[in-house]
Structure 1
Amino acid sequence: MFIILLMSCSGFTDSNIIIAENGKTNYEIVLLGEASESQYESAQELGKYIKLISGAELNVTEESSQTDGKGKIYIGRSAKRKLEREQISIRTENGNVYLTGGSDNAIRNAVYVFLEAYFDCKWYAPGVEEVPTQNKMTLDSINYAYTPEIVTRTVHSRLFYDNPDFADKQKVTHESFPYYVPEARVHTFHKFLPEEKFYRSNPEYYALRGTQRLPTQLCLTNDHVLEIVKDSVAALFERYPEATVVSVSQDDNQQYCQCDNCSKIDAQEGSPAGTMIRFVNKVAEAFPDKTISTLAYQYTRKPCKTRPAKNVLITLCSIECDRSAPIAEKCKDFADDLRGWGKLTTNIRIWDYTTQFTNFLAPFPNLRTLRPNIQLFKDNNANWVFEQHSTNPSELFELRSYVTSKLLWDPNLDFEGLVTTFTNGYYEEAGPLIKQYIDLIHDRLAQNEDFFLFLYGDPSEAFDSYLAPELLKEYAEIFDRAEAAVKSKPEVAARVKAARLGIDYAILEACRKNLTEDFSLMVRTENGQLVENPGIKKIIEDFRTVCTAQKITLMNEMGFTIDEYYSNYLDALNIAKKPNKALGKKVTTLTKPKKYADEDPMVLTDGALGGSSFYANWLGYEGNDLEVVVDLGETHDISTVSMAFLQVTNHIVFFPTSVTYLGSLDGDRYFDLGLVTNRTPLNKESKVNDIQYFDLKFTPRKIRYLKVEAKNTQTPYWHHAAGLPSWVFADEIIVD
């Protein structure tokens, strides 16, 4: 329910309530009824900010001890005016002020709305606030009420998790999964039936894929599976009696069960969500006073026919969507699914995504989609919204956290006004320039209607769009001016430098790719000598320094660290300096690559070096081995060969088990140069995101043709993508 009662002056034309003047006050803060500790803290918080605004100190007292002859600011639950649980009310009556709500949480929200709406207090980030001072603190008559339609509002940002007081000011939760059992928040099938315990003895508990049972998902028509899950849920609720929600949800893959019983139900229901909802409903029936959460995610996103039980919470996930425009425009299938679930239940939780998870710090111009997307969720029974930032800092992290929290509280707020308020307040004199950058990069993306802005994309995809070379230069110039505008303010300058990280990262990746003469790792001097680009070393050093100062440690969700990125980039610079007899030489692939790098084997000798994402200049082979031949053009004496390979285990990208190098003089008869095995064989503890160089040194040999054979690592049965082919991703071949 959404209620706004217009603020009016009820016939008054001048300020009629004087809270404080010249540092003095005739008001006190009064706690209504039997006040809780939370209500007392809200009163203390109100008093703190009134003192900051006016210099006057208001006493906090209970209703039974209030002082005759003083004005009152009442805080708590009103016995006369019954409010809904989340509803807030701010009103004046007979010279007194009433800040009330239907719960402790709502009362706290009422205090912060009062300070923000009527005294222009602003909280931009932890420790960064704006509290205007007033010699005379006055109020006109007020009659305001509001009930947020999105009841549980979560912004997945450490700014809120590490600073609960800041979360309170922005009216979002202190944690990512409030009310949930900590051990069962999402992707829980493998926790209820771990393959290490059950798979070998009872493979029938797991998904049938083709002719084989694999521990990717559970068989949801197996009665023993149902009983084990119910027992596990009961044990979890017993262990965490204060928790009210448990997730009974699929693991993070699409390898669901296709046995006859499961397939029959899914066909009847018109979606694989059919077996899921029928199964979860049976679990929920055993726990009528608790909530069982499940996912409508990837293969279960499409609604089925069976209604979820009243105590089943549907968590609908928008992971596939194009972020270049609102979901209703660019991801209509998701919007249709949302409307479909909205017809089946009013118990919907949205899991939305706002950051590029493969590159936290990359420019990701999706800010203009936040408001229409949240409005879409609100209009379709989503009373619980989880906006997944990266937890750890991502591009324009403070701005994203601020704007998203504001829109979750009130989806009708003016987006442009929110951004301008934040940039001017947080970046001060540099604010208009940061806003200019935000507008420009979003405008440029909007000009490319076919661009798919993906959560798992890479800056390299945008080098002919909103990150084109001429735009990178323009963005950098804007940030140069922004830094100059606040150079005398070290704290504000540090914020601007953090905002600049996205563009610096894009420039670093453009140089790694040798995008242009200006954006390259090596440049040619007047006498034709190739030397290290003098500007690039400064950018990578500044990048690391700013990240360290801002306590930014991660590059992506796979755990690739800033230190690893820095080290990897220095390695790339060193590799770029190496003499390479294969540079620019013709490459022929004997096995077929797929999709990435335009399937062009010449990327292996183009001098551009791959980054931590498979989009970034890597040649990919799915389900087959890599076999390529490089023609050096003439016979050379060589003694070293090196080739880089990428690993991203959660995307089924593994290092090869081995790489064999062979040489030939005629391209027909080959001889072994040597074999290099993977020094970190794949296991459950393998590093998720990594780059490994398969280096070989040998006694000098004369060759013209170099053959490389990289053996694909098969997807193991315990991997979440068991049954699917794995990838080999390779990059630059270095020969000397």
Structure 2
Amino acid sequence: MKKITLFIAAAALFIAADVSAQMTMVRDGKVKSRIIVTTDQKPDSVAAVLLQDFVQRISGAVLPVVPADEVGKFLRKGDVLIGNGMTDTLYDVSESQEGEKVLKEDGFRLLTGDGRLRIAGGGDKGSIYGVVTLLEKYLGVSYWGENEYSLTKSKDVVLPEIDEIDNPAFRYRQSQFYGMRNDPVYKLWMRLEEPAEMFAGSYWVHTFDKLMPSSRYGVEHPEYYSYFGGKRHPGKASQWCLSNPEVFEIVCERIDSIFKANPGRNMISVSQNDGNYTNCQCDACKAIDEYEGALSGSVIHFLNKLAARFPDKEFSTLAYLYTMQPPK
């Protein structure tokens, strides 16, 4: 009998501890939480509205969205804080003890403590993706397609104890699903972006001729363009002679001007024109490709030089046609 009594007591303690770690947002259809937007950043406001919308769809209750300046320092249990403002020791997620950045761009942290929930972002859409994960993983919402979702309605919305950090494996994610243009929630839910939102000057895929127009350089400098079949091939659909140092400097100058004309955009595509086996086969380019074991070798070699010249920028290219095989 003593063993049974101890077991029941231990179970009761376990249940009590579990309940105390929960956070109630809605109880019996009545609001128990406020959504506090702690910054003036647009993604944090979007995240707040998204959370408010789906909690209402689940429970019928409308959580108030309140800016931080209306709250002051008086927080209460049930508050949901979105953004990186109003931080304290418990919620400071900017750096690890080793001084490394914990949250990357588009990353987020979900953290409950003291009866409140913090949704912190690492920049750009991090707080939005934090809300999406909260809805999907902890509140049972699934989003399937354009304006298609499922959820279980309930008069109670209760969160368990949460401490979760997530950083994206890829900085840019795109789909050719055109329905996302008619449904902004689907786009956010799937963490998708469009080229015009990310790439400086909308320089995205097949950019060789846009960056170094053959109409400007082709006649006087055919040596800037691919050599194959016994001659150079300057033209709108031609590739570059990627081993030519003058080509590299011209492209660097052009890229620098594009970034300066598009402040806040730190990504650009430097990628081949459309066309298969039109790559440069001059002795220097061919030597790079042979050393790397793939026709993509000279392209990656060129991109690495650009990355060294612009260390604070991000570059993308294409694994396409003759560049599909990666270098060794």
Q: TM-score, normalised by structure 1?
A: 0.36
Q: Of 180, 198, 216, which residue of structure 2 is paired with 1:179?
A: 198
Contact 1:28 1:70 in 2 (8 A): no
Q: 1:134 to 1:190 in 2, by over 3 A?
A: same
3-state SS, counterpart of residue 38 of structure 1:
helix
Contact 1:9 1:141 in 2 (8 A): no
| Structure-1 separation of matches of 2:168 and 2:282 | 44
Per the alignment, residue 8 of structure 2 pairs with none
Per-residue deviation at 1:59? 2.0
3-state SS, counterpart of residue 149 of structure 1:
coil
Q: 1:119 to 1:223 in 2, by over 3 A?
A: closer
Q: 1:270 to 1:202 in 2, by over 3 A?
A: same
Q: 1:68 to 1:233 in 2, by over 3 A?
A: closer
- Taking the TM superposition and a 5 Å limit, the aligned residue runs for 1:51-130 are 51-63=56-68, 65-66=70-71, 71-77=78-84, 78-80=87-89, 81-82=92-93, 83-85=102-104, 86-103=106-123, 105-130=125-150
3-state SS, counterpart of residue 239 of structure 2:
strand
- Taking the TM superposition and a 5 Å limit, the aligned residue runs for 1:403-442 are none
- Percent of aligned pairs with the same residue? 29
- Taking the TM superposition and a 5 Å limit, the aligned residue runs for 1:170-209 are 170-173=190-193, 175-176=194-195, 178-209=197-228
| Structure-1 separation of matches of 2:317 and 2:57 | 46
Give the residue type in structure 2 aligned to 1:11: A
Matched, 1:167 2:187: yes
Per the alignment, residue 155 of structure 2 pairs with 135
3-state SS, counterpart of residue 58 of structure 1:
coil
3-state SS, counterpart of residue 249 of structure 2:
helix
Per-residue deviation at 1:257? 1.9
- Relative contact order, CA 8 A, sep 6+: which one is greater? 2
**Greater strand percent: which structure?**
1
3-state SS, counterpart of residue 132 of structure 1:
coil
Give the residue type in structure 1 aligned to 2:229: G
Per the alignment, residue 233 of structure 1 pairs with 255
| Structure-2 separation of matches of 1:192 and 1:35 | 36
3-state SS, counterpart of residue 152 of structure 1:
coil
Give the residue type in structure 2 aligned to 1:71: G
Q: 1:136 to 1:291 in 2, by over 3 A?
A: closer
Matched, 1:242 2:264: yes
Q: 1:28 to 1:254 in 2, by over 3 A?
A: same
Per-residue deviation at 1:39? 1.4
Per the alignment, residue 21 of structure 1 pairs with 27
Q: TM-score, normalised by structure 2?
A: 0.75
3-state SS, counterpart of residue 120 of structure 2:
strand
- Taking the TM superposition and a 5 Å limit, the aligned residue runs for 1:337-356 are 340=328
| Structure-2 separation of matches of 1:96 and 1:160 | 33
Give the residue type in structure 1 aligned to 2:35: I
| Structure-2 separation of matches of 1:226 and 1:130 | 52
3-state SS, counterpart of residue 30 of structure 1:
strand
| Structure-1 separation of matches of 2:258 and 2:60 | 51
Give the residue type in structure 2 aligned to 1:262: C
Q: 1:661-687: CA deviations, max 9, x gaps?
A: xxxxxxxxxxxxxxxxxxxxxxxxxxx
| Structure-1 separation of matches of 2:247 and 2:122 | 42
Q: 1:160-205: CA deviations, max 9, x gaps?
A: 24433321122222x1465313452122223334444443443333
Give the residue type in structure 1 aligned to 2:59: S
Per-residue deviation at 1:151? 4.2
Per the alignment, residue 273 of structure 2 pairs with 251
3-state SS, counterpart of residue 185 of structure 1:
coil
| Structure-2 separation of matches of 1:141 and 1:11 | 10
Q: 1:159 to 1:144 in 2, by over 3 A?
A: same
Per the alignment, residue 313 of structure 2 pairs with 290
Q: 1:268 to 1:188 in 2, by over 3 A?
A: same
Contact 1:39 1:107 in 2 (8 A): yes
Per the alignment, residue 5 of structure 2 pairs with none
Per-residue deviation at 1:42? 1.7
Gaps of 5+ in 1: 1-7, 305-339, 341-736
3-state SS, counterpart of residue 18 of structure 2:
coil
| Structure-2 separation of matches of 1:220 and 1:68 | 59
Q: 1:130 to 1:224 in 2, by over 3 A?
A: same
| Structure-2 separation of matches of 1:12 and 1:171 | 32
Q: 1:5-31: CA deviations, max 9, x gaps?
A: xxx978326995443234322322223
Q: 1:26 to 1:176 in 2, by over 3 A?
A: same
Q: 1:536-595: CA deviations, max 9, x gaps?
A: xxxxxxxxxxxxxxxxxxxxxxxxxxxxxxxxxxxxxxxxxxxxxxxxxxxxxxxxxxxx
Per the alignment, residue 172 of structure 2 pairs with 152
| Structure-2 separation of matches of 1:106 and 1:209 | 47
Q: 1:369-417: CA deviations, max 9, x gaps?
A: xxxxxxxxxxxxxxxxxxxxxxxxxxxxxxxxxxxxxxxxxxxxxxxxx
Per the alignment, residue 40 of structure 1 pairs with 45
Per the alignment, residue 217 of structure 1 pairs with 239
3-state SS, counterpart of residue 155 of structure 1:
coil
Q: 1:248 to 1:38 in 2, by over 3 A?
A: closer
3-state SS, counterpart of residue 74 of structure 1:
strand
Q: 1:220 to 1:121 in 2, by over 3 A?
A: closer
Contact 1:39 1:104 in 2 (8 A): no
Contact 2:77 2:115 in 1 (8 A): no
- Taking the TM superposition and a 5 Å limit, the aligned residue runs for 1:255-270 are 255-270=278-293
Give the residue type in structure 2 aligned to 1:288: P
Larger Rg, first or second structure (1 or 2)? 1
Q: 1:223 to 1:95 in 2, by over 3 A?
A: closer
